């Protein structure tokens, strides 16, 4: 449950107990104008000064004053009719909701003691010591509830922080997979155009490809930020989308790239398909930047309990022990891990590189 939902739960608890106490009092003793008036004032005060002002919660001033007013009203109601003792349960989270830090525990003790005083507990303690045990037990229970309430809110805040960090990491991966790769392709095309400056037709072709890469990258970046599926997966199933990625990459780099499919293609969860598509894009981008390969091969294998994507090239290769991998490989591994998968890289100098992404999907 998110942080904003807990106050609503506590508001509901307050009004449920208030309504229940008023109903019991009316059924047992009839309608008491004083009790009804105090109930209406208490409900209105809570609605206007607490429920409608979430930004002021846990601010000592003015919430301490509103808390004291509610405690005073509760005292008056219990003195008017003992059925309103049920309101103690409705207000048990109130001091921790309204007051900051240790003030919440002090407010909880005040609430319990004032309710006990209103019920006349202190008057009978000399004759019945068990009442003292009841008051002390209620106080202890209220303090324990405070610890529990604070723990719930703390965990909610931690979940929000974790969610924000995960979203930040997702956006970083998406930006890398769209803008960074797109810019790399644009730079490569412009450098090729610069080298072929004496051939106007070749220059026009390279510039046209660079412009198309820029348009595609911008469009894909917008979609990624909106947390939508990668555009190729919107238009075609995964294996067809991979073929489109390979064709565009070959057209931009001049290096042939083929896609083969083993097994019967089937629909996969969206996150799995997105992970495999991004892995293919990153793998091909690395081939273009580092491998100096003559060809690349993508193999998508549909198996009973898992699906794998292999990206192979016959380029220069590298020593896997001599590098930790760039952000692209790190992001790829993070993506795969979120789907329960793994990424392995095998390479040797002069013998090309094999990238394998494996994700279980029984």
Task: Identify whether 94 is part of a domain.
Answer: yes
Q: What's the pTM?
A: 0.44
Q: What CATH number did the domain enclosing 257 receive?
A: 3.30.565.10
Distance CA 305, CA 300 (A): 14
Mark which of 67, 100, 119 sits at the end of a domain. Answer: 119
Q: Which residues of 188-218 are buried (b: 16+ CB within 10 A; e: fewer)?
A: bbeebbeeeeeeeeebebbeebbebbeebbe
End-to-end CA distance of the chain: 30
Evaluate whether 257 touches 284 at the Cβ level (below 8 Å).
yes
Mark which of 119, 146, 171 sits at the end of a domain. Answer: 119
Give me the pLDDT at residue 71, please: 92
Distance CA 116, CA 110 (A): 10
On the question of a cis peptide bond just before residue 108, with omega within 30 degrees of 0, the verdict is no
Residues 6+ apart with CB under 8 A from 278: 173, 177, 230, 331, 332, 335
Give me the pLDDT at residue 259, please: 93
Number of folded domains in the chain?
A: 2
State the alpha helices, DSSP H only, in the chain: 5-29, 33-46, 60-80, 87-90, 94-98, 103-118, 121-124, 130-175, 181-195, 200-225, 231-235, 238-253, 270-286, 327-338
Task: Identify whether 356 is part of a domain.
Answer: yes
Kindly report the CA angle at 291 between 186 and 303, in degrees rounded to 5? 100
Task: Identify whether 226 is part of a domain.
Answer: no
Task: Identify whether 352 is part of a domain.
Answer: yes
List of the chain residues with pLDDT < 50? 1-3, 227-228
Task: Identify whether 215 is part of a domain.
Answer: no
Domain carrying residue 290: 237-362
Mark which of 63, 92, 119 sits at the end of a domain. Answer: 119
Distance CA 10, CA 18 (A): 12
Task: Identify whether 113 is part of a domain.
Answer: yes
Query: For residue 173, what are its two tokens?
Result: 């991966």
Task: Identify whether 181 is part of a domain.
Answer: no
- Residue given tokens 């719930």 in the structure block: 152
Whose CA is closest to 241, among 265, 223, 221, 264?
265
Distance CA 356, CA 308 (A): 7
Task: Identify whether 292 is part of a domain.
Answer: yes
| Three-class secondary structure of residue 341 per DSSP | coil
Give me the pLDDT at residue 262, please: 92
Its sign, for the CA torsion 264, 269, 273, 276, is negative
């Amino acid at each position: 449950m998110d942080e904003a939902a807990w106050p609503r739960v506590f508001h509901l608890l307050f009004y449920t107990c208030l309504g229940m106490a008023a109903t019991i009092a009316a059924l047992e003793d009839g309608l008491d104008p004083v009790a009804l008036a105090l109930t209406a004032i208490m409900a209105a005060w809570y609605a206007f000064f607490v429920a409608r002002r979430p930004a002021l919660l846990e601010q000592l001033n003015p919430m301490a004053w509103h808390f004291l007013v509610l405690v005073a009203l509760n005292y008056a109601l219990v003195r008017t009719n003992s059925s309103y003792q049920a309101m103690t349960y409705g207000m048990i989270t109130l001091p921790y909701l309204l007051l900051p830090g240790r003030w919440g525990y002090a407010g909880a003790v005040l609430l319990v003691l004032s309710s006990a005083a209103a019920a006349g507990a202190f008057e009978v303690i000399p004759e019945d010591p068990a009442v003292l045990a009841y008051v002390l037990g209620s106080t202890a229970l209220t303090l324990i509830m405070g610890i529990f309430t604070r723990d719930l809110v703390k965990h909610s805040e931690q979940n929000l922080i974790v969610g924000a960090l995960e979203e930040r990491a997702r956006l970083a991966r998406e930006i890398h997979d769209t803008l960074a790769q797109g810019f790399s392709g644009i730079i490569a095309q412009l450098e090729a155009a610069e080298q072929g400056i004496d051939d106007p037709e070749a220059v026009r072709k390279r510039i046209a490809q660079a412009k198309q890469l820029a348009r595609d990258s911008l469009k894909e970046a917008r979609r990624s930020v909106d947390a939508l599926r990668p555009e190729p997966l919107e238009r075609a199933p995964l294996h067809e989308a991979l073929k489109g990625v390979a064709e565009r990459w070959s057209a931009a780099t001049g290096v042939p790239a083929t896609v083969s499919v083993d097994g019967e293609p089937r629909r996969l969860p969206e996150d799995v398909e997105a992970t495999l598509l991004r892995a293919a894009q990153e793998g091909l981008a690395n081939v273009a930047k580092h491998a100096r390969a003559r060809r690349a091969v993508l193999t998508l294998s549909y198996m009973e309990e898992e699906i794998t994507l292999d990206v192979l090239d016959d380029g220069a290769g590298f020593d896997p022990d001599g590098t930790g991998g760039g952000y692209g490989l790190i992001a790829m591994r993070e993506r795969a891990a979120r789907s329960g998968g793994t990424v392995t890289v095998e390479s040797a100098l002069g013998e090309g590189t094999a990238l394998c992404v494996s994700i279980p999907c029984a």
